[in-house]
């Protein structure tokens, strides 16, 4: 008899892969152990993308909040649309109007929705938005470096100007009845050109200045600060987290760790995966959010020209596995879609509905049933579980390279839950290459999944080259 027990770092337990009988556990390929008491995953809808705000309506909000389980909206701080004379908002600007209308619609459908206000990147100098060359900030908000227009990374925002912008923004939000619960004053510092990634004290100065204005100006200071929200991350972003928490004792200004960990940067990049773990460790137990997940276009086809839409979806999913393995408890997809007419619609919607409010169980797989090794790899077999009371969701990727001769179908694969029995199988969905042949791009029902008579395990087949979602309930 050979048995291998796999520990799950951080969240609730483990999936144990076993070969042979066990007195302590039912015979199964995968055993899900009881969850620990950790933060469930909160999903949010991103309204920072102008088309997302403009197209937001009550029907969409109902689907997002009542069906997909979302509880947060991410709204933009539009620093390019202020008046230079007094740093007041240009409230009649179409972007401000659309964003506010969308926020109010969200609150009407879900009155207790939480609001995350985040700096909106308008591009860097030389990038055209509505026919006008814009940076994230207008030129008058920068430090006046003569070369800023040509090389914005040499500049940094003026602390007093940005503080006034933020103060007027919070007054505006309160006046419109939209309280800000979470505040993120930087967003992809590589692109926003705030300078916070080069001058850490500037970040502290802006937020301390904002706190000082709250009482006099009558706005409510948010109690939660999301930072630094970098692409990657890179070493300077890890240093930023350490500087605030360890070197200056200003961990009060980074109460939630935020990142943008894109599939395109993660692809075949162990260094990026390691840095993500280092930044999470530097945050010392603070909640960790993926504030802008991307379901990337096939930019990586230059390296892998035979990749299909299934490969694209797989890379998105294993990127998410990296995040959930590290305890990610806040999740936002840029340009989220939920309709099967969109190629990412069914994946996004099913991921939300199967994880929102659930406790994550990222799996550290050391040895697969076929003897191969994997750990959220770009290819191979990966499995993760999520639990919400009696409801269990299991995501699986079983991917080989296009054209590879070896069929990787796993027949009679079994899952059990330690200390529990299965009451009902809700659904078993599979995505394969054929799912993206034509619209609607829907998942198909997987091969029959069956629970044993005693309810101790579920047995099913995991097809070759597929992603799968198994949902079931416990007694």
Phi/psi for 428 (5° steps) reads -140, 105
- So what's the pLDDT on residue 299? 54
Query: Are residues 420 and 407 in contact, defined by beta-carbon separation less than 8 angstroms?
Result: no
Q: Which are the contacts of 467, defined by CB distance < 8 A and separation ≥ 6?
A: 310, 313, 314, 317, 347, 395, 396, 397, 398, 399, 430, 431
Tell how strand 410-417 and strand 30-32 pair up. parallel
Distance CA 216, CA 336 (A): 39
Structure token pair of residue 461: 């087949």
Distance CA 154, CA 135 (A): 13
Instruction: Provide CATH 2.60.40.1180 ranges for the chain.
Output: 371-474
Tell how strand 422-431 and strand 444-445 pair up. antiparallel
The correct CATH number of 371-474 out of 1.10.287.130, 3.40.50.300, 2.60.40.1120, 2.60.40.1180 is 2.60.40.1180
The correct CATH number of 42-361 out of 3.20.20.80, 2.40.30.10, 3.90.1170.50, 3.90.1150.10 is 3.20.20.80
Q: What is the pLDDT along the chain (475 residues), one digit of tens a residue?
A: 333 333 333 333 333 333 333 334 446 788 777 666 678 999 999 999 899 999 999 999 999 999 999 999 999 999 989 999 999 999 999 999 999 999 999 999 999 999 999 999 886 544 444 555 557 888 788 875 534 445 555 668 899 999 999 999 999 999 999 999 999 999 998 888 888 988 999 999 999 999 999 999 999 999 999 999 998 899 999 999 999 999 999 999 999 999 999 888 787 788 888 999 999 999 999 999 999 998 875 554 455 567 788 988 998 998 998 898 888 999 999 999 999 999 999 999 999 999 999 987 644 343 444 444 344 456 788 888 999 999 999 999 998 877 777 888 999 998 888 788 999 999 999 999 999 999 999 999 999 999 999 999 999 999 999 999 999 999 9
- So what's the pLDDT on residue 13? 35
- So what's the pLDDT on residue 233? 92
> Greatest CA span in the chain, whole angstroms?
77
- So what's the pLDDT on residue 268? 74
- So what's the pLDDT on residue 44? 98
Q: Is the dihedral angle over the CA atoms 199, 203, 208, 209 positive or is it negative? A: positive
* Helix (H) or strand (E) run with residue 165 in it: helix 159-175
Instruction: Provide CATH 3.20.20.80 ranges for the chain.
Output: 42-361
Query: Residue 57 carries which DSSP code?
Result: -
pTM given for the model: 0.90
- So what's the pLDDT on residue 136? 85
Q: Return the bridge partners of 289, or none.
A: 258, 330
- So what's the pLDDT on residue 132? 56
- So what's the pLDDT on residue 3? 33
């Amino acid at each position: 008899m050979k048995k291998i027990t796999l520990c799950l770092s951080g969240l609730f337990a483990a999936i144990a892969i076993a070969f042979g009988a066990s007195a302590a556990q039912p015979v199964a390929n995968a055993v899900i152990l009881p969850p620990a008491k950790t933060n469930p995953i909160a999903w949010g809808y991103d309204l920072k993308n102008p088309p997302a705000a403009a197209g937001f309506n009550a029907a969409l909000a109902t689907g997002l909040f009542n069906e997909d389980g979302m509880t947060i909206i991410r709204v933009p701080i539009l620093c390019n649309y202020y008046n230079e004379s007094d740093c007041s908002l240009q409230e009649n600007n179409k972007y401000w109007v659309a964003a506010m209308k969308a926020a109010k619609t969200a609150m009407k459908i879900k009155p207790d929705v939480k609001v995350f206000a985040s700096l909106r990147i308008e591009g860097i100098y030389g990038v055209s938005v509505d026919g006008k060359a814009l940076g994230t900030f207008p030129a008058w908000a920068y430090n006046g470096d003569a070369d800023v227009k040509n090389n914005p990374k040499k500049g940094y925002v003026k602390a007093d100007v940005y503080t006034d912008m933020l103060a007027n923004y919070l007054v505006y939000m309160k006046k419109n009845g939209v309280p800000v619960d979470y505040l993120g004053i930087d967003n992809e510092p590589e692109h926003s050109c705030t300078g916070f990634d080069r001058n850490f004290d500037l970040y502290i100065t802006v937020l301390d200045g904002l706190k000082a204005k709250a009482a006099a100006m009558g706005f409510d200071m948010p109690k939660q600060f999301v930072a630094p929200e970098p692409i990657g991350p890179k070493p300077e972003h890890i240093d930023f987290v350490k500087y605030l928490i360890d070197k200056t004792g200003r961990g009060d200004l980074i109460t939630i760790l935020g990142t943008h960990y894109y599939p395109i940067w993660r692809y075949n990049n162990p260094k990026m995966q390691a840095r993500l773990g280092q930044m999470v460790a530097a945050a010392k137990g603070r909640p960790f959010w993926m504030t802008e997940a991307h379901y990337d276009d096939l930019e990586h086809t230059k390296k892998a020209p035979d990749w299909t839409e299934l490969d694209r979806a797989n890379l998105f999913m294993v990127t998410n596995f990296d995040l959930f393995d590290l305890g990610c408890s806040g999740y936002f997809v840029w340009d989220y879609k939920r309709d099967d007419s969109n190629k990412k619609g069914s994946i996004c919607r099913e991921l939300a509905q199967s994880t929102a409010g659930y406790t994550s169980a990222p799996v550290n797989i050391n040895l697969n049933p076929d003897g191969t090794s994997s750990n959220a790899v770009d290819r191979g077999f990966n499995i993760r579980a999520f639990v919400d009371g009696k409801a269990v969701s299991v995501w699986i990727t079983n991917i080989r390279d296009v054209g590879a001769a070896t069929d990787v179908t796993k027949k009679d694969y079994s899952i059990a839950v330690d200390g529990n029995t299965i009451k009902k199988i809700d659904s078993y969905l599979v995505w394969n290459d054929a799912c993206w042949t034509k619209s609607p791009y829907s998942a198909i029902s997987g091969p029959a999944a069956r629970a044993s008579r005693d309810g101790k395990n579920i047995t099913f087949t995991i097809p070759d080259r597929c992603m799968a979602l198994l949902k079931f309930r416990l007694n």
